[in-house]
Amino acid sequence: MATLANGVWNTLIVTFAAAIVSSVLGLAVGVMRVSPSRPLRWCSIAYIEFFRGTSLLVQLYWWFFVLPIFGVSLSPWTVAIVGIGVHVSGYAAEVVRAAIQAVDRGQYEASTALNFPRLTMMRRIVVPQAVRALLPPWGNMLIELLKGTSLVYFITIPEFATATKLAADSTGNYLLFYAVGLFGYYIIARVLITPFVRWLELRLSPGFVREALS
């Protein structure tokens, strides 16, 4: 049981920290994606396409095994958190882009009429409204991030999926421990991630009817 508890704890740490990394980077790259500056848009497109279009496991291998060849050695925890966070930020950036573009054009026109600088318009008018629209897909992204943490075993971190396998191998009770692993991820997503995202929806959308949350 200690092995399972340690695996769950490691998974939660990587999930939480990588979610912060992916959210911050995703917001920054997503805003760049809709920037009027062509170089910024090109850089953001290249970033998104690269990290979305390549394998997360191979990216982790590069962070962990290839970078030391060039004199950059990172700890397994750093690679897990930053590697997964950067990978998922490519998806998060597209979520941010879609949410920003979904904001009513009248909001942009009103901001222009009020002589708001673009940075002020994005910070005070557009992004706060976009956040409400991006929360549901952002919640799905966090669940996918949670499941992606199972790959950090390959860079020597004993996470939840590996802990269930070790427990099953040591006891021979594969049905029990693989059932624990199967439903364990579901419980983490259902008890921690989904309620948190729904709470944010309610907090950021005062006055909105949220019948689907009941």
User: Domain locations in the chain?
Assistant: 2-213
Residue predicted with more confidence, 118 or 9: 9
Question: What is the model's pLDDT at position 205?
Answer: 67
Q: Is residue 104's pLDDT more than 80?
A: no
Structure tokens that stand for 77 in this block: 């925890």
Domain 2-213 falls in which CATH fold?
Answer: MetI-like fold (1.10.3720)
Cα(11)–Cα(152) distance, rounded to whole angstroms? 9
- Average pLDDT over the chain reads 88
Confidence of residue 101 (pLDDT cuts 50, 70, 90): confident
Cα(80)–Cα(145) distance, rounded to whole angstroms? 11
Question: What is the model's pLDDT at position 206?
Answer: 55
Note the pLDDT tens digit of each residue in 31-64: 899 888 899 999 999 999 999 999 999 999 999 9
Question: What is the model's pLDDT at position 81?
Answer: 97
Return all residues near 43 (Cβ < 8 A) that are at least 6 apart.
32
Q: Identify the residue whose tokens are 């992004």.
A: 127
Cα(207)–Cα(49) distance, rounded to whole angstroms? 38
Mean pLDDT of 10-39: 94
Query: Which value, in Å, is the radius of gyration of the alpha carbons in the chain?
Result: 20
Question: What is the model's pLDDT at position 200?
Answer: 87
Residue 133 CB coordination number (10 Å): 18
Q: Is residue 129's pLDDT more than 90?
A: no
